Structure formats: structure tokens, C-alpha cells
Structure 1
Amino acid sequence: MLEVPLIDVRPGGPAAHAERRCNEARALRAACLGWLPLGGALARLADPVARWWLRRSGSPFIADVAAIADTVRRPGVWLLHAAYAVGCTSMADEGADGPVLRRTLDWPFPGLGRLVEVARQSGPAGDFLNVTWPGFAGVLTATAPGRFAAAINQAPMRRRTRAGWLLWLDYALNALDALRHRGRPPPEHVLRLAFETCATFDEACRFLSAAPVARPVLFLLTGCAPGERVVIERDGRDVRLYRDGTVIANAWRDEAPGWRPRVCGEGTPDENNRRRVAGLSAWAGRPAPGLAWAVPPVVNACTRLAVEACAASGRLVVAGWEADGRVTAVTAF
């Protein structure tokens, strides 16, 4: 198996990453859109809407998305940057060298595991390692050695209907809710800005708790000193911070009426989330070389990445998955 590549894009960021790895960026776009029904037609129709929304969002990284679209020269780049269907299981734990972040990323799109790369990026606060793909402008999982590590989990979905057959309507209404607001960047752009500008765990915690954000989101953040770990729940109105029991999937810590947990794998959303949290919690306080913790039910048919990061030691371990299992070597940086 090939190792996950490390690409230094500090001079130009994600736009330079896409330019240097254009074939891989096109392959990823084709794989993601090929999975969608009528993906090519959807890309042509939805790209202008996604571009309009992202430009209204106030994100400082719109120029990067535009440059990536110019490089790839295929419809769908703007649409994929507006997509937000990340299921995950994540834990912030105490390790021998400092707090440790462990996470899987579950997304049904094929190719995300096979094409994953680590990009060395930088900002005013310093360098960071972004577990990402060529052609993606945001941050879903990253570590800044000596500062902090963080990941995004998708939050539950607001339910406005009760009938199961109307679930599609809730998906549409939640998307429209994000579209109608101005000045709220996507969560993955907010997390990238934290890595570029925040010098410490405390600064990142304050920033991720207060910055405008387009959608409900779960941030998991670890620092370098013992006890520097926190879950930040953002539901669009309230902010909740939890510094104990820092294991999350795609549900709120406390049950809330009117919300439906996201699901990756089998079972009902509530059952599935509890099972994944319990599976990862069983590894709390245990060393797990080679991502030994990345096993079912934490890993499932939708799993595309497993990542372990310790900002105190600078250690980052990454592996890619597809539906039929691990497709890259377990690679340490």
C-alpha cells in the first residue's frame, strides 16, 4: 500500500495544492460527482447557487475556491465546497505526551480515502498539517504542532417535520436556512482561519466559540497541556462547551427536541451514534499504535479516514479507507 503523501503548499495554500496535484483534484471531483445521481447535471445547475452563497458567506477563502475552480476546469468545484455531509466519530483523550485527538471521517463519497493527502500550510500564527485533498480549501482535521489539533463533526439536523417520508423536506429546509444568511462562513473555513490565526489552545477555543458559522457544527479541540481538550457545540443559536467526556459522534451531548442525529452505518440515528461513541470510548487512556482503535463500529462502510494527532509531540498518523477497507498504509508524520 502507498503511504499518504505530504505536500508542502505553504507558499500558495490550497490553490497551489490543486495546481500541483491537478489530476488528483479532477479524480476526486469525478469520484464524488459520479456517486451522485445525475452528478454532472447537478454540478452544472448547482455550481452558480453554491458560488453565490459562498461569496455572500463572508469567507476569506473565496479566492482560493475560485482559483481551484479555474485550475480544475470542470463543473462541480463550487458545489462540492458547499457540501456538508460529514459523519464522524471523534475523541479527545489524555496521552503520555499530551492530549490526543482521534477521529474517523465518514462520508459516502468514494475516493476520499484513496486520494487523501496531508498539506503543510501556514498562516500568521504558524504552520499546520491539514489532512485534506487537492482541490479542497477548508480544514476538517488538522494539527498545529506546539499549538493545538482540531476536527469537525457534523451536528444533528434540525427537524421541522415528524413524518419519516418528509425527511427530504427537512434536508432541503436546512440547506435553505444556510443559504439565506449573509456573513456566516462554512465551518470548515472557520476552522482553517483558527489554524492560521490562533496561537494557543485558549485562543482557538474562544475563536471557535464566537466566530459566525453557517451551519450547526461540533468542534473538537485539543491543546498541548494536560486537560486542554474541549467539545464545542454550535447549534446556530447557543454555544455549549464540554471539557469532560470528550467523545462525540453526530449528536448533541444532551438530547434536544427538534433535532435528528446524523448517522453513518447501520441502525437508527440514536442507536448508531451511541454505538460509535461507546466503541471509541473503550480506547480512552489506552495506547493504540498503528491506529489499532480504528475498528468497527467506529469504522464502517462509509469511513474514509482515520487520524490521530498530538499537538504537544507534533505526531500525526493518517490512513485512508474505502468501502472495502483500508487502502493506504498507516502513515506517520
Structure 2
Amino acid sequence: MTMPVIPLVDIREGGAALLCRSHRAGAERLLAAGKRKMSVPVVTLFDGRSSRWAARTDNPYRVEIAELAAGMPRGIWFMNFCYEWGCTTAVAEAETGGMTMRRTLDWPFDGLGRELIVAHQTGAAGDFYNITWPGFAGMITGMAPGRFSLAINQAPLRLKRGWPVAAGWLWDRVQVGRSRALPPAHLARRVFETCTDYTAAVRMIRDTPIALPALFSLAGTRPGEGCVIEHLGVETRLHAAPEAVANDWLSGDLTGHPRGKENATRRARIRGAAASPLAWLVAPILNADTRMAAEMDAGAGTLMLRGYEKDGAATELFVL
């Protein structure tokens, strides 16, 4: 049986709204899946809160997200401000002499693997490729040929002593609602649009406050251009490549409730995996919650990508 092919869509003119219009059915399927998972009342509540928060904070992508939401079922705003995934990411020297990034995204959300799209986008600093979905304006995984690759992992949950995880999640949402800073996925997109090289990307990430903690992985084009940045909201910690990260802090003095499962094992496996393409994609890096696996080399301008669902591979292998 032939599996779906991940489309490469040029949205350098038209942006995320064009992508949503051209793949509306996929966006509607993702919204429906989100409502089944989170419930209609929860999605409706946070959709409205997200829209108001974007307006209050003068979010630079709010007009674009409003275009996405126009004429669509409720949920687009929530989709663009929701960060609940697990990830495993590694940055190391590539056999080509440059730097490579290996990356998976885990989220028990039906359809994310089948609906993957590679969007060809552009900004003041040049073109880039965004591994994304119809209806989403931000970036969590991408590659800019000749510049850098970047991925975001969800950071540990800020949890007060003695609190259950659910209470910590709600408190985190309250803290985000009080912030006026960019969400991590919007900072990532700004980096791709405006940073001309790896050094500029590192500087912008470290100098820009964000609305909630996140783990940024960066890989440039030359040996040594690679790192994981623990971004606490304002303060940052940089860990030079070769390095790998899951959904726990690398710094031993930082506290929080790790996201995802088997963080230490996932990090160790991806860091010590074979160099051949996608040979690192083994359990528990690959698991029932994995929805995407990618390998990127910005120096060579290459990107390998496959979508997954809970029962295994859901798309053909995409090669750029």
C-alpha cells in the first residue's frame, strides 16, 4: 500500500494563510482531532484566551493568525499557542564536515504525522524550510540552507513543591497569560526570517525573552557551530555540541517536572547513535507517540523527513 507523500509547498508569497487555504481539509482534520483529545469546551475557552492574549501583547503574527482563523472552525488560535509535545533532538558534526541535527516530535495526537507539510518560506535573511501543518503560523523545526537548522523541545513544567502536575499546568498557563513576550515558536520563526547565520541566531535566541521556558537546538554549517540553549524565559544557558536533549534540563541545578517519557534514555540513545541517515531512529526515540522524525544538514542543504502515527510510518520518506 502506497503511503501519502509529504508535500513541499511554496508559500513565499501568500504565507501561512495560503498554506491553510490550499490544505484546508487537513487543517480541519487537525482541529477536529484536537477537539476530540482536549474536548470542545477546553479548545473553545483557550481559543478565545489565545486570541485576546495575542492582541494584548501585540504579537507580530496575530494578523496572520487572524487570517488563518477566518472562516475556519474554532481552534486555530489555540492551535497556534499550544505547546504540549515531547521531543528528542541531537546536534553533532556531520560526515559532510558540517553539522547535522536529528529530531523527533512526540505527541499522542492523531493526524499530526499524516498531515505534515514542508513549507518553503522566506524572510529578510533568505529562504528556509518549515516542517509544519496547515493552520500553524509558528515554527518548531526547520532548516535554512547555508545558514542553520533549528528545533524547539518543550521544557520541564514549572511545578511548585507539593503541587500535582495538573495544577502546575494550569499555573503555567496563568504565567503565560501574564507575559508580554513571544511564544517560543514565534521567536523561532523570527530567527529564520532575520538571522543571516548561526552566530546571529544564537544571539537573538539568548537576547529575546519568551513567554514560557523552552529548549532550543541549533546547528550551523561549520564544525563547532552547534548548541542546545536552555531558555528560562529571560535567563539562558548554552551547552555546546555535540549535545542532545529530550524534555528535561541539561543543567543539574534547574528544577521542574520533565515532559514526555524516558528522557534520559532517549537522550543517551540519540547522542550515541550511528551516523548513517535515520539509523538513530530506534526505541525509545521512536515510540507510539512519535509523529515526526527529521534529519537536517544546513551546510549541505539536505532534509530527510517522515511522518508517523501510533501504528508506525504514515508517510513516504521526504528527501530535499
Residue in 2 aligned with 1:120?
A: 120
Code of the aligned partner of 2:259: R
Residue 42 of structure 1 deviates from its aligned partner by 2.2
Residue 27 of structure 1 deviates from its aligned partner by 1.1
SS at 1:304 equivalent: strand
Residue in 1 aligned with 2:245?
A: 248
Q: Distance in 2 between matches of 1:224 and 1:58?
A: 34
Tell me the C-alpha RMSD between the 2 structures.
1.3
Residue in 1 aligned with 2:188?
A: 191
SS at 1:212 equivalent: coil
Q: TM-score, normalised by structure 1?
A: 0.92
Residue in 1 aligned with 2:95?
A: 96
Residue 26 of structure 1 deviates from its aligned partner by 0.9
Maintained 8 Å contact 2:84/2:154:
yes
Residue 43 of structure 1 deviates from its aligned partner by 2.5
Residue in 1 aligned with 2:303?
A: 316
Code of the aligned partner of 1:228: E
Matched, 1:292 2:269: no
Q: How does 1:317-332 map to 2 (within 5 A)?
A: 317-332=304-319
SS at 2:292 equivalent: strand
Residue in 2 aligned with 1:267?
A: none
Give the counterpart of 2:32 among 30, 33, 44. Answer: 30
Maintained 8 Å contact 1:161/1:167:
no
Matched, 1:79 2:81: no
Residue 197 of structure 1 deviates from its aligned partner by 0.5
Q: Distance in 2 between matches of 1:214 and 1:257?
A: 18
SS at 1:120 equivalent: strand
Q: Distance in 1 between matches of 2:20 and 2:168?
A: 34
The percent identity for this pair of structures is 39
Maintained 8 Å contact 1:54/1:82:
no
Matched, 1:216 2:223: no
Q: Distance in 2 between matches of 1:61 and 1:239?
A: 24
SS at 1:158 equivalent: coil
Maintained 8 Å contact 1:87/1:105:
yes
Q: Distance in 2 between matches of 1:153 and 1:63?
A: 26
Residue 48 of structure 1 deviates from its aligned partner by 1.4
Residue in 2 aligned with 1:3?
A: 5
Q: How does 1:36-47 map to 2 (within 5 A)?
A: 36=38, 39-47=39-47
Residue 245 of structure 1 deviates from its aligned partner by 4.0
Deviation digits for residues 141-182 of structure 1 (CA, Å, limit 9, x no counterpart): 00000010000000111110325xx22111111110111122
Deviation digits for residues 234-272 of structure 1 (CA, Å, limit 9, x no counterpart): 1124211111441000111122364111123xxxxxxx1
SS at 1:221 equivalent: strand
Maintained 8 Å contact 1:40/1:75:
no
SS at 2:285 equivalent: coil
Q: Report the CA distance shift for 1:326/1:222 in structure 2 as closer, same or farther (over 3 A).
A: same
Bigger shift: residues 118-127 or 40-49? 40-49
SS at 2:137 equivalent: coil
Q: Distance in 2 between matches of 1:151 and 1:180?
A: 25
Code of the aligned partner of 1:158: R
Residue in 1 aligned with 2:156?
A: 156
Q: Distance in 2 between matches of 1:301 and 1:181?
A: 34
Maintained 8 Å contact 2:19/2:134:
yes
Unpaired stretches in structure 1, ≥5 consecutive residues: 265-271
Residue in 1 aligned with 2:142?
A: 142
SS at 2:111 equivalent: coil
Q: Distance in 2 between matches of 1:223 and 1:56?
A: 35
Residue 7 of structure 1 deviates from its aligned partner by 0.5
SS at 1:174 equivalent: helix
Give the counterpart of 2:18 among 13, 16, 19. Answer: 16
Code of the aligned partner of 1:139: M
Maintained 8 Å contact 2:306/2:313:
yes
Residue in 2 aligned with 1:277?
A: 267
Residue in 2 aligned with 1:66?
A: 66
Code of the aligned partner of 1:171: W
Bigger shift: residues 249-258 or 90-99? 249-258
Unpaired stretches in structure 2, ≥5 consecutive residues: none
Q: How does 1:47-62 map to 2 (within 5 A)?
A: 47-62=47-62
Q: Distance in 1 between matches of 2:217 and 2:204?
A: 13
